[in-house]
Amino acid sequence: MKNSNIILINKTVMTLFFILFLINTSLFSQTTNDDRIKALPKLITEAANSGAYQKAANLKKEKELREQIKIALAANNYQKASELQKEISGLSDSKSSENPAIVSLEKELKEALKNEDYKKASDLKKQIESLKNGGSIQKQTSDSATLEPEFINQVVYFNKLENKITPLENGTAEMKVSSMSAPGFAKATSYYIIKGEHSNVNLNANNNPSFIAKIAPALDPKDYLYMVKYEIKGKKEKDRYVEAFTTKAGMFGGGSTEKNEKQRIPISFTKIKDGLYEIKPESTLGNGEYAIVFIANKMFSFSIN
């Protein structure tokens, strides 16, 4: 008899929770929980496309909670369903208090990404995160003072999306001369060589990279920096080669020395400030091994793979 009373009380409690849930949820209204779940993906997309990222996040959270409500109802766990519905109500309250400054910054962020202005996008993202964490907007520096190599005569990779720099493989190339001769004629080709088939700095699929070079303020970067694509040579141990000069000589004197530029990649320079330049290839880079060469044989190497 005692057990029967306990069962009856439990059923009564469950029924009360179910009634409370019906009163406090959309099941009591014309829109059912299932209908709302079906409608939410479209609403999430619309909010994201309009730049209302906080609203989109709230709608996504609502969808997750409603799916949990569906599971709770299937298990007759009305208490759990009621608790979840209260969380959804809390989300509705937060929508009305959405920070207008965040909304404005998120719209600017979307526009910056559309225009591929990744530095501005990174600055805006930091400001948004600061506001969401209860902080204030921090004014970002307009120049790239913190985004430059530590030492002069250095080149680094510039990740615009993440607004950070990464050192390249830095090495001094060895010089090797390969010669050939025939009666009355001689030819010698000089190579710059970096040991190893691949660089230890892989830019992955970024075939339109940017770099930052730091040189003496009085120098013209076009006279001291250029980009090359290595040629891989070697039978057992493969190394990276760049043809430097070709010297020709005849039996009766005379001769010539020419720079070999067939491995060079056209690049552009954008001045950031005195002695600091952004470097970009003028066309997309295919897979392979590359380097930015400073003066003669100082190589800043990287891979595109």
Q: Among 27-36, 50-59, 134-143, 265-274, whose mean pLDDT is lowest?
A: 134-143
What would the two tokens of residue 137 be?
């907007």
Q: Tell me the CB-side half-sphere exposure of residue 276, using CA atoms within 13 A.
A: 13
The pLDDT of residue 100 is 64
pLDDT in tens, 89-144: 776 545 444 566 677 777 788 877 777 677 677 777 877 777 666 554 444 443 44
Total residue length of the chain: 305
Of 206 and 40, the one with more pLDDT: 40
**What is the value of pTM for the model shown?**
0.51
Q: Once rounded to an integer, what is the mean pLDDT over residues 17-25?
A: 49
pLDDT in tens, 176-208: 888 777 776 788 888 889 999 999 999 876 668
